[in-house]
Amino acid sequence: MENRITIGKRGFCIFFVAFAFLLSCATGRVQSETLYANEPVCEVIEDVIYEIPEIRAEFPGGMTELMNFINREMSYLTLRHMDIQGRVFVQFVIRKDGSITDIEVIRSSDPIFNREAIRIVEAMPKWTPAKNNGEKVNSRFAVPISFRPFW
């Protein structure tokens, strides 16, 4: 007796469908490469946000002036009579043009301070943007804002 392998009609159909599928995938791949042959190989992404750029973004006048700005802008008077204090960490993106976007509270000791912390960040002037390889880039920055009585 010979050892013959028979696949039958059902096995042949399964084989044919799988082969047709693989052939169509390969053909589709070639077609898609042909369609985009004139497109650049590397896509330029404008919205990359650097977590740690070579040169960090800077508030006009430096960190000391940033803290002075926060203290000047703080409207804590309405909360003082409640005798509460706390700290809010606000994170935001400094765009290539120095503008601030994507403001969010990442940690807060009390939600009562969140709106005021966001308002302070929104009131900030344009920053000197971060740089990477000598070019201005978008970067993420976080700052703590402390709310405590001054007396």
Where do the structural domains in the chain lie, given as residue ranges?
A: 49-147
Higher pLDDT, 105 or 28: 105
Global pTM?
A: 0.65
Q: Name the nearest CA neighbour of 120 among 94, 97, 140, 100.
A: 100
pLDDT at 110: 84
Nearest to 143 by CA among 53, 68, 49, 55: 68
CATH topology of domain 49-147: TolA/TonB C-terminal domain (3.30.2420)
Q: Is pLDDT at 8 greater than 80 in this prediction?
A: no
Count the neighbouring beta carbons within 10 Å of the beta carbon of residue 147: 19
How many whole angstroms separate alpha carbon 101 and alpha carbon 67? 19
Q: What's the pLDDT at 98?
A: 96
pLDDT tens string 64-101: 999 999 988 887 555 555 667 889 999 999 999 999 99
Cα–Cα dist 103/122, whole Å: 8
pLDDT top residue among 2 and 131 = 131
